[in-house]
Chain A
Amino acid sequence: MIYLQLFWEFFQTGLFAVGGGLATLPFLYDMGARTGWFTAHQVADMLAVSESTPGPIGINMAVYTGYTTAGIWGSLCALVGIVTPSIIVIVIVAAFLRAFRDNRYVNGAFYGIRPASTGLIAAAGLAVAVSALLRPDAWQGWSRFWTVLDWKAWLLAAVIFAVSKKWKKLHPAFLILIGAAAGAVFRFAGA
């Protein structure tokens, strides 16, 4: 029953992904590896689509995954799955707002969860970077380790990083557009 499975997978993601949109990323990698619904490449593509369209990223990713896996009804199940834990948790928290903010167990738990969530996103980012910047099939041993580096992709990454630091207000969709144009012209190894 794919619909129920989509709901359940995204319910778990909504329940355990703490700290906003990108926190769903490691859960999507894990989900793709376990279910075979999508590849790691597709997760990165999904992220680019989500960053370039309106709406919360986590929601966009759920809808996109649901659609590519099982059409419109699939995206509806994924969407309901990912927002349901939020609704339940927030309604409970809203009812006990003050007590929640001052509770030492709650504060303690989030003291630990916050860096863990950042670490999970970092690991997911590393996986994207490896697939975008390296060519593992060109490996010829440590003495010639540089052969695995896709230097055109590294150059693009350096340019994008510099631009994103120089103009901090610049919309990510603009950077993604530059990346798409550069990819179409220069043909990176990660295709």
Chain B
Amino acid sequence: MSGDTRLLALGLIAVLSSASAVSAFLSWRAGGKPSPALDNLNQRIKAWWVMVALIALAFVCGKTGVIVLFALVSFAALREYVTLTFSRRSDHWVLLGMFGIVIPVQYVLVWQEWYGLYSIFIPVYCFLVMPALTALRGDTERFLARVAEQQWGIMLAVYCVSHVPALMTLPIPGFEGRGLLLIAFLIITVQGSDVLQYIFGKLFGRHALSPNVSPSKTWEGLVGGIAGASALGGLLYWLTPFSPPQAAMIAALSCLMGFLGGLVASAIKRDRGVKDWGQMIEGHGGMMDRADSLVFAAPVFFHVVRYLWT
């Protein structure tokens, strides 16, 4: 384990331990009074321990471990997404292909580091082949809605998510063998921004940002969260090939994308009349509830790094 990795691990354990300590203190002060908000906070922090442990385990297993982890994230996210979409019996084989072919092929291409193909496999080839298969089945009932929803699902849950492990494959001069730390930087700043937006929103939130889409999002939360996460990004510059100001700016961009991802995910949930994508992660909801910000941030972060640092 390199010195940087050890420092990162210790830092994460310190942050989670203080979160657990704060929540234990709040529970003690509440004196056994039942409080849904506090229960939820406790569940969320416990789930964070589990998520950090799983990511750490994947990191220990290296490139293959990280690719398998994110393939599973894609599987869980796509399953939640497709559950909420409209499909007919004639879509059965296309849906099976989304899980059984699209996910494995995309991640194998990432594993092979074949940028030329994994960056167009879903937006070009799946985009053309899947509606063709649906048309061949001859069922035209709500055809456009069905094929559009299928394409959206693999773009969000597979294509975008696969850009997280793809960060490992970027050949950055002078940064060889440190791709995992770049992934850690992205996940920590984007997820950190989610947590900070939640905290700033709870403490100072007054002005709703988009009450029709998500009543819990406020301007105060957004500004505080992104400012805090940018500062965090600047402090974590040593994980990346960036200078501190560059790290802060890239973190700000990623977190803004992450915020928009959360907003789009909320709009989809609102459209389908559900509060959460699922119940997979205690206190947080489904996989998509946790990953929505990463979905929007990962491809943009990936391309910024690719164009400016390779």
- Does A pair with B? no
